[in-house]
Structure formats: C-alpha cells, structure tokens
Chains A and B, each alone.
Chain A
Amino acid sequence: MTNEEAWLAQDAALRNANDPADRLLAQALAQPALDPVPGNFAARVVLLAVRQPQPDDERIEMLLEYGLLGLLAALGLTTVWSFASGWLDRLLEAGSAPETGASLPGWFAIVLLCLALSAATGFFGPRTR
C-alpha cells in the first residue's frame, strides 16, 4: 500500500466511522478541548487598533524621514564640493612626497591592512549571539 493509499484508507475509515473506535476518534478530533474565544475579543482588538499609529501617519513620517535624509545628503555633497578638493590635493601630495616614504600604492596597502585587521578582529572576537 502506498502512502497515498494508506492516507486515503485512514481518512475514509474516520469519515465512515463504521468501527466504534474510529467513531470515537472522529468525534474527539472534531470536538477538541478548546478554550472559548472571549466574548468581547473583537471590541478589545478594535480599541487596540485605534490606538495604533494610523497608516497615513506612518506615510507622513516616512516622507519626512526621506526629506531629512535628502537634506543631509545635499549638505554633505555641498561640503565635499567646497572643501574636498583641497583635502584630496594635500593627501596626494603627502603620498607622493619622497620624505614620507609612502606612495599611493603604500596608502592602498595600509587601507588593506586595516580592513584585514578589522575582519580578523570580527572573526576571532567575541560573538554576540
């Protein structure tokens, strides 16, 4: 007998309930010991739902949040536009200066080393989970 046939046979036995044991089992399964739903349940849920922030409020909040993020991004870009060229020039000068001994590939190696160190710390460090 395949699984499907066994399943169908068991289901039919419970449905037909010719055997007293099957009848008893079918009755018990159809009338489990359930706690009743409290009478005022729906009204309570509605009260709680009304107290929640409404979807429209959330939409306004989200729009304001995006607006603020946009403003911050614009301010950041303006700052970079105004001052960054100076920083970049000084950085490149420092990198190519013979007395510092660090070239652009040297800076690149330092960045890579920092990344490797933080990855290793993250890997070997304490786990938060």
Chain B
Amino acid sequence: MVARFLHLPATAGACRVSIAVNPVRQMQASEEKAMVEAVLARRPGAFEALVTTHEKLCWHIVNRMVRQPEDTRELCQEAFLRVYRNLSQFRFESSLKSWIGRIAFSVAVRHLKRKRIALEESTDDADAIADLGDNPEAVLVAADQAAKLHRAIEALAPLQRMLLTLYHLDELPIAEITVITGLSVGTIKSHLFRSRALLRGRLRALRD
C-alpha cells in the first residue's frame, strides 16, 4: 500500500505522464477507448457494459457521502446519465474510471450542498465516537468492537468516509483520488491521517 504513494509525481501533469508509460495502464486505456467508441457508436449493450464496469466505484463514492440507499440510486443514475450525455467530450486525459468518479463526486457534493449537509465536518462525530467508550466491560468481544468501529466510521464527515472507502476498499492510488475529488495530495493524506488517527485512538480507549 505504501508503494502506491511513495513515488508520487509532484503534479497532476507528471502523474499523467507516469501513467501513460505504464504498460498495464496502456492496455486499460485501449480497452477504455474501445468501450467509449462503442458507446458513442451506440452499439447495443455497450453503455450497459460501461455502467456495469463502473457502477461499483460510482456507488461507493455516492453511498459513502449521502448514505441513504434511495438517494444513492437516484444520484448514481444522474451521474451515469451525465456520463452518457458528455461522453463525446471525454478526451482520455485521465482514466475513464477517474472521469466517471469525478462526475459521481460532483453529483454527490451538489446533493449535500442542496441539503445543507457539511462535507468536511460532522456534527454527531463526538457523540457517536464517545459511545464507543461508554461501557468498556461490555464490549470486549471483537465483533462488538468491530460493530462499534463501524458506527464510528459512519459518524465521520461525508468526505472523510468517502476518502477512506476509495483508499481502503477500492484501493485507488492517491493520484487517482486527486483526479476524482479535485483535492490536493496533501489534503487527501491529511483527511485520511486524521480520520484514521481518530478511529485508532477511540479503538485503543475501548480496548484499554
């Protein structure tokens, strides 16, 4: 995991260069190009294949930010409809995955803003995490601790939850997360570091 960001290029432009010389990335790029061309040529099943390939990432981004399954479904649909409408404008400057992720992220951010939900701060953080240490004797079982840890993760701010998911579940490199979110490498690392330190601290308190 460390290797994913140890040799990060300083700029996004340099990042694209380093991705371009990677043979795996080149193969992915040619597959993506074929997929995009098929959708633009309206080949039957092409758009469905594109959605199936990228629905998981889109769902993870939106679901971790808005949490409600019904809202997630509607926002993911909106994101893919935007992809469909604007696919002819995709210039292959980033991976298709990052481009779709960025659209999903912007759709989710707009939804949170409309609902006046803070992107980076969570009001119920303190209470939910404080619950972890309410009764240490009763939570000695690992499964119980894990459940409480999940509650603490859920109580994090939408942006932090989403960044943790992209990094730990989808295992995206930080360079790709910067493309999706538009945040700098330092900001992403800072969010990840602080949220993990918070969770780690609460877990330690729970175990002591």
Contacts and interface: CB of A to CB of B under 8 A. Distances in A.
Interface string A82-103: 0000000000000000000000
Given A21-B207, A42-B55, A32 B81 contact: no
B85 A30 contact: no
- Contact-residue size bin, chain B (C-beta under 8 Å from the other chain): 35 or more
B150 A46 contact: no
A117 B181 CA distance: 45
B168 interface: yes
Interface stretch (B25-33, B109-117, B122-130, B192-200): B192-200
A44 B63 CA distance: 18
Contact of B63 (A22, A29, A35): A35
Contact of B1 (A11, A21, A31): A11
The prevalent SS among residues of A at the interface is helix
B148 to A, nearest CB: 10
Contacts of B150: 28, 32-33
The prevalent SS among residues of B at the interface is helix
A70 B146 CA distance: 67
Interface string A6-19: 11101110110000
Contact of A37 (B55, B168, B189, B204): B55
Given A11-B2, A33-B150, A46 B81 contact: no
A126 interface: no
Interface of B: 1-2, 6, 47-48, 51-52, 55-56, 59-60, 63-64, 69, 72-73, 76-77, 80-81, 84-85, 88, 142, 145-146, 149-150, 153-154, 161, 164-165, 168-169, 189-190, 192-193, 196-197, 199-200, 203-204, 207
